[in-house]
Amino acid sequence: MRTQRAAPGELTPEPSDLPRSEPERTPAGKIEPAQAAVDAAARQTVERTWENLEVLTLNMGPQHPSTHGVLRVVLDLEGERVVRTRPVIGYLHSGKEKLAEVKTYHQFIPYTDRLDYLSPMANNTAFVMTVEKLLGLDVTITCQYLRTLLCELARISSHCMFLAAHALELGASSAFMYGFREREKTYDLFEQICGARLTVSYMRVGGVWVTRGRMPDGWLDRVRAYIDSFPGALEEFDRLLTYNPIFMERTIGIGSISGPEAIALGLSGPNLRASGVAWDIRRSHPYLIYDQLDWNVAVEEAGDCYARYLVRMKEMRESVRIIRQCLDRWPDGPLNIDNPKVVYPPRAQLGYSMEALIHHFLIACEGFKTPVGEVYFAIENSKGEFGFYCVSDGGTRPYRLKIRSPSFASIQALDRLCRGALLADVVAIIGSLDIVLGDSDR
């Protein structure tokens, strides 16, 4: 039907004056079948339009505040929906696995700080325990307690950073400040024991780095004071995020994955346990003193972003339990084994002992030899299974070194998690995986 143009001098009818068919409603407020037919036709029009949409390819990163590093994500979009996700890594590649072939075992320890640089204490521990397994060494019981305590402090520190960054990316700036506040307290403890806050390089093959053969005076008391105050911080996190309706709306049902799918994609750590798989290397393959302590594996069933957040909150509470038990049962004794061929002698001996000076010189310049063979050792890092596969030809350097990083597998799962999600949900999904690009671009 064609619209007639108004004659000169006549007024054009207002839209409200034009004839139109209003849906007739019954007294109960129900729409008549005529309106239902109109709605069905409208839905068919929308569906045909959606089917004919062109796929838009969008680059997210590598310089992006929500990709947790220099990660490039190539997104194929139909409207706001993600059709395909192609992660592109390598922008932070530093060749650490190849560098290990030209470094002695002691010289490579600082490189492990720069893998998952949010858990350097745990990285150090994994590497030196790999070499100790190759050498057949057992460290002292006091060293085992100290390593366990420091690994759990590193877990708390890393999870606080996850909480702060994840919340900020979803718009909760206050939680960012609270998370950083608690993270800085753990860094204060690291600085007091080893002199560094981030790149600690504290672990040594056969023990730890010490100047006077012992820890700083009063350090354990400061750890206890922090652990006593930390549950109050967790309650603040709960009030800020756990029951926050906006945070729940952005994370519940987003990026869901089942347990079998997570296993098939190589997920580990909190990302796997959030899908109902109770796999924790501290329990399945115990190391240090974890099998002597009372703690629970944190598990959730939903497998979505919110479940991954809840698992990390539970893990921080379990870390508090583990650290408190370490402090209550703390044994007296030396931190390092008595093996001058492997462990640096105490610095005080260098001033009067020629043998100590010679041993120090040989370890620093040449290193120590390891038996011919190959070993794999992994720990439960804050992000999952973090391990080293080392091949030795009998020399002072690894012949080959392969690093099993949990972030690499987590990035691999990104396409599965993002398909069908909205563009805005990609930020929530990446944040919930808690990836570190220094860990994947090794």
pLDDT digits (tens, 9 = 90+) for 92-114: 888 899 999 999 999 999 999 98
Quick check: 324 pLDDT over 70? yes
Query: CA 25 → CA 32, 37, 196, distances in Å?
Result: 6, 14, 73
Whole-angstrom distance, CA of residue 162 vs CA of residue 174: 14
pLDDT digits (tens, 9 = 90+) for 125-151: 999 999 999 999 999 999 999 999 999
Average pLDDT, the chain: 87
Question: At 66, is the pLDDT very low, low, confident or very high (cuts 50, 70, 90)?
Answer: confident
Quick check: 404 pLDDT over 50? yes
Q: Examine residue 62 and say whether the peptide bond preceding it is cis (omega within 30 degrees of 0).
A: yes
Whole-angstrom distance, CA of residue 306 vs CA of residue 313: 11
pLDDT digits (tens, 9 = 90+) for 370-380: 999 999 999 99
Q: What is the pLDDT of residue 31?
A: 45
Whole-angstrom distance, CA of residue 83 vs CA of residue 81: 6
Q: Which residues contact 50 (CB under 8 A, 6 or more apart)?
A: 78, 79
Q: How many Cα atoms are found within 13 Å in the side-chain-facing hemisphere of 398? A: 28
For 412, the token pair is 């691999």
Whole-angstrom distance, CA of residue 422 vs CA of residue 442: 31
- For the segment 110-119, the average pLDDT, to the nearest whole number, is 91
Quick check: 24 pLDDT over 50? no
Phi, psi dihedrals of residue 7, rounded to the nearest 5°:
-70, 155
- For the segment 77-102, the average pLDDT, to the nearest whole number, is 90
pLDDT digits (tens, 9 = 90+) for 195-235: 899 999 999 999 998 866 678 889 999 999 999 999 999 99
Question: At 38, is the pLDDT very low, low, confident or very high (cuts 50, 70, 90)?
Answer: low
Whole-angstrom distance, CA of residue 301 vs CA of residue 10: 70
Q: What is the pLDDT of residue 283?
A: 94
Q: What is the pLDDT of residue 79?
A: 86
Q: What is the pLDDT of residue 37?
A: 63
Phi, psi dihedrals of residue 121, rounded to the nearest 5°:
-60, -40
What DSSP string describes 229-261? HHHHHHHHHIIIIIT-HHHHHHHTTSS---HHH
Which residue reads 């310049």 in tokens? 365
Q: What is the pLDDT of residue 151?
A: 96
- For the segment 60-66, the average pLDDT, to the nearest whole number, is 78
pLDDT digits (tens, 9 = 90+) for 407-427: 999 999 999 999 999 999 999
Q: Which domains are present in the chain?
A: 56-86 (no CATH), 87-440 (1.10.645.10)
Weakest-pLDDT range from 32-41, 59-68, 272-281:
32-41
Q: What is the pLDDT of residue 34?
A: 58
For 140, the token pair is 């002292």
- For the segment 147-173, the average pLDDT, to the nearest whole number, is 94
Quick check: 16 pLDDT over 50? no
Question: At 308, is the pLDDT very low, low, confident or very high (cuts 50, 70, 90)?
Answer: very high
Question: At 348, is the pLDDT very low, low, confident or very high (cuts 50, 70, 90)?
Answer: confident
Quick check: 8 pLDDT over 50? no
Across the beta sheet with 72-78, the strand order is 56-60, 72-78, 81-88
Question: At 186, is the pLDDT very low, low, confident or very high (cuts 50, 70, 90)?
Answer: very high
Closest C-alpha among 283, 316, 317, 313 to residue 297: 283
